[in-house]
Amino acid sequence: MHSYHLPSLVILRFIAFCHGIRGELFSDKFSPRLHVMKADVQYDINYIIIHLKSSKTDIDRKGVNIRLFKNESINCAVHALNCFTLLRNINNHDSPFFLLPSGQAFTRRAFIFTLRHLLLQLGYEASAYSGHSLWVGAATSSAAAGVPDHLIQTLGRWNSLSYLRYIRVNDTVILAAHHKI
């Protein structure tokens, strides 16, 4: 695996997970008019802005900025993206930001294939996971962490209450709720 291929996958997964993004970062057919290019990523000391030219909730196609804030955890997206940018080492602002080892744009197909491959290596049933799994994981993890509903909706950029169908509640949470009643 190329030196930036795995970090690219990990960062894509992290960003997609935390912000309910899927097709906006990569698709089966790359278009510089729609997808993230190196010029669409801005760095600040405390955050990184990724400009999405097209988004599931951006009906007017004006674009939306996703802010990833620095935190001091092992899962810091700002740190990961800074490291990725150094590994990537391509200065062309007109190139796709997320790349395959071949230098081509990271595609949805490559993302799902690599994600499932890694899940298999970790002992998971890979066929049970898809791009929607990231939305489910983001909504469920946010709810379990006590993130208010309106923030889950905002982070995932949902305009409706459809985000609620992505939240999975396990028996432990239900049991705890029963004890509070």
pLDDT tens track for 68-94: 888 888 778 788 888 878 777 667 777
- Check whether residue 41 and residue 86 sit in a common domain: yes
pLDDT per position as a tens digit, 22-72? 556 766 777 888 788 888 999 888 998 988 887 767 777 788 888 888 888
- Check whether residue 114 and residue 165 sit in a common domain: no
- Check whether residue 149 and residue 112 sit in a common domain: no
Total number of domains in the chain: 2
**How many of the other CB atoms lie within 10 Å of CB of 131?**
15
Q: Of 100, 123, 146, which closes a domain?
A: 123
pLDDT per position as a tens digit, 10-22? 555 556 555 556 5
- Mean of all residue pLDDT scores within the chain: 77
Q: Of 123, 154, 171, which closes a domain?
A: 123
pTM of the predicted model, to two decimals? 0.72
Predicted pLDDT at 42? 92
Q: How far apart are CA 140 and CA 119, in angstroms?
A: 19
What is the residue range of 147's domain? Answer: 130-181
Which of 84, 105, 88 has its CA nearest to residue 37? 105
**Nearest-5° angle of CA 40, CA 133, CA 100?**
45
Q: Of 92, 123, 154, which closes a domain?
A: 123
- Check whether residue 101 and residue 135 sit in a common domain: no
- Check whether residue 18 and residue 96 sit in a common domain: yes
Which of 35, 75, 67 has its CA nearest to residue 50? 67
